[in-house]
Amino acid sequence: MNRQLEPAARDRHLANFVGSTIFLSRWLQAPLYLGLILAQGVYVVLFWKRLVHLIQDFNTFSEEDIMLLVLGLVDVVMIANLLIMVIIGGYETFVSRIKMQGHPDQPEWLSHVNPNVLKVKLAMSIIGISSIHLLKTFIEAPSYFGPNSHIEDPATMIMWQTLIHMAFIASAIGLAYIDRLQLPSAPAKADAAH
């Protein structure tokens, strides 16, 4: 009878080993998040280089040039925000908890982070970044149609950028709607209202 139990015990041991290995494999993502932190450092350097350029040479720029440089700074900040959400939210969701409970600097969104919330927040950040790029295109549009333009078909380029931006918006709305559908309904609240 002990011989019959041995294969079952081996199977349980193998299943536990495989399960533990799969669970531990989540730590393979940690270097990816550390790499994104380094990428964010590159964006910090880029931001300061652009800011120093703006401050040093602001008297040689037109108002349009200053606006475009400032939009470039905003773009860098929004990409850095996107990186922070991916780094913190992704690590917290897929690798391990970050022990921040009670810390005065804990981001509000971190207390209820999950893959759905993260997807919606990322989509909103992408829309913000796309908006900045589209605004820069609209500001620069008159130069695209001039005789010295390096763009062959500026109208088509602007149309495609606008359509892609609208696709980002539609995707974000779809993600938010799906996230809302997954929330548990509250019939008790409806009954209490009557």
The average pLDDT across 72-99 equals 87
Q: What span, in angstroms and rounded, lies between the C-alpha atoms of 183 and 141?
A: 43
Helix, strand, or coil (residue 98): coil
Provide the pLDDT confidence category of residue 190 given band limits of 50, 70 and 90: very low
Range from 33-37, 105-109, 172-176 that averages highest in pLDDT: 33-37
- Counting residues of the chain whose pLDDT is more than 90, the rounded percentage is 26
Q: What is the DSSP string of 149-162?
A: -S-S-HHHHHHHHH
Provide the pLDDT confidence category of residue 9 given band limits of 50, 70 and 90: confident
Select from 115, 157, 117 the least CA-distant residue to 138: 157
Helix/strand/coil percentages in the chain, nearest 5: 85, 0, 15
Q: What is the DSSP code (8-state) at residue 109?
A: G
Q: What span, in angstroms and rounded, lies between the C-alpha atoms of 57 and 74?
A: 19
Select from 140, 135, 131, 141 the least CA-distant residue to 166: 131
Q: Which two tokens stand for residue 123?
A: 């989509």
Token pair 């931001």 is found at 47
Q: Does the pLDDT at position 183 exceed 80?
A: no
pLDDT value, residue 5 = 56
pLDDT tens string 108-155: 766 666 677 777 778 888 898 999 989 888 888 888 787 777 778 888
Average pLDDT over all residues of the chain: 83
Residues 6+ apart with CB under 8 A from 137: 157, 158, 161
